[in-house]
């Protein structure tokens, strides 16, 4: 069954690139969520005028990969202990946030955060109801693949 999940973990290029490598993930789209302006542009988001986070929309086959697996992967491909930043990328648009669509997703997200906190991680990831997802400009889509680069701010760190 096809389902969608939404994650914000710094620059969307790296999150998109690493999520696409997970078996069961059909596609990943870069965009914006969590703000107060309709149809924001990259320039508006990076100016902090909209309140949006750089977010990815993950379309996945739940018969091949679970939401819980995607949550754990998300927590390993970005640093959930950095507040409003990932590496050199600084600003609220780079915040760590899980946008849930159901109560089950909310509970699973909180459980994964709880596991990391028990392991000693000072997790700052927000768990927020999903709102409208705005697709980013075309030049942001598949950026790492199009430019044949590996993400600079995202490296998988095993935490589970």
**Catalytic annotation, residues:** 11
Strands 25-33 and 2-9 come out as unpaired
Asked if residue 153 lies in contact with residue 11, where contact means CB atoms within 8 angstroms, the answer is yes
- Tokens 């044949």 belong to residue: 148
Residue 31's contacts (CB-CB under 8 Å, 6 or more residues apart) are: 12, 55, 56, 57, 133, 134, 135, 136
Tokens of 49: 């005028």
């Amino acid at each position: 069954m096809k389902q969608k999940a939404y994650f914000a973990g710094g620059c969307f290029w790296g999150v998109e690139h690493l999520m696409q490598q997970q078996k069961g993930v059909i596609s990943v789209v870069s965009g914006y969520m969590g703000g107060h302006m309709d149809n924001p542009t990259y320039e508006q988001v990076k100016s902090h005028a909209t309140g949006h986070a750089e977010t990815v929309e993950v379309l996945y086959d739940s018969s091949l990969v679970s939401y819980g697996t995607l949550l754990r992967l998300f927590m390993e491909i970005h640093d959930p202990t950095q507040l409003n930043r990932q590496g050199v990328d600084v600003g609220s648009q780079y915040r760590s946030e899980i946008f849930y669509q159901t109560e089950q997703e909310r509970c699973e997200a909180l459980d994964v955060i709880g596991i990391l906190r028990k392991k000693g991680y000072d997790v700052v990831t927000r768990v927020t109801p999903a709102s409208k997802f705005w697709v980013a400009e075309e030049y942001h889509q598949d950026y790492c693949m199009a430019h044949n680069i590996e993400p600079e701010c995202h490296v998988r760190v095993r935490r589970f």
